[in-house]
Structure 1
Amino acid sequence: MTDTSTAVALSVGDQMPPSEFGPLTRSHIVRYAGAGGDFNPIHHDEGFARSAGMPGVFGMGLLHGGLLAQRLAAWVGLADVREYRIRFTGQIWPDDVLSFSGTVTAVREQDGERLADLALAVTRQTGDPAIKATAVARLP
Structure 2
Amino acid sequence: MTITTDSGKIELKVGDKAEPKTYAPLTRTDFVRYQGASGDFHPLHHDELFAKATGFPSVFSVGMLQAGLLATYLTDWMGVEQLRRFKVRFADQVWPGDELTCSATVTDVVNADGGTRVTVELRCMRQTGSTALEGDAEFVLV
What TM-score do the two structures reach when normalised by structure 1? 0.92
Q: Which residue of 1 aligns with 2:53?
A: 51
What TM-score do the two structures reach when normalised by structure 2? 0.90
Gapped regions of structure 2 (runs ≥ 5): none
- Alignment partner for residue 34 of structure 1, among 30, 33, 36? 36
Q: Distance in 2 between matches of 1:64 and 1:73?
A: 14
Q: Distance in 1 between matches of 2:9 and 2:129?
A: 29
Q: Distance in 1 between matches of 2:125 and 2:66?
A: 10
Task: Select the structure that is richer in strand.
Answer: 2
Asked whether 1:67 is paired with 2:60, we answer no
Does the residue aligned with 1:79 lie in a helix, a strand or coil? Answer: coil
Gapped regions of structure 1 (runs ≥ 5): none
CA RMSD between the two structures: 1.4
Q: Distance in 2 between matches of 1:37 and 1:90?
A: 22
Report how many aligned residue pairs link the two structures.
Answer: 136
- The question of whether the paired residues in 2 share the 8 Å contact of 1:8 and 1:76 is answered with no
% identical aligned pairs? 44
Q: Distance in 2 between matches of 1:107 and 1:36?
A: 34
1:65-108 CA distance string (max 9 Å, x none): 00000011100011011110000001100000000000001112
Q: Say which is worse superposed, 52-61 or 108-117, in terms of deviation.
A: 108-117
Q: Distance in 2 between matches of 1:108 and 1:48?
A: 50
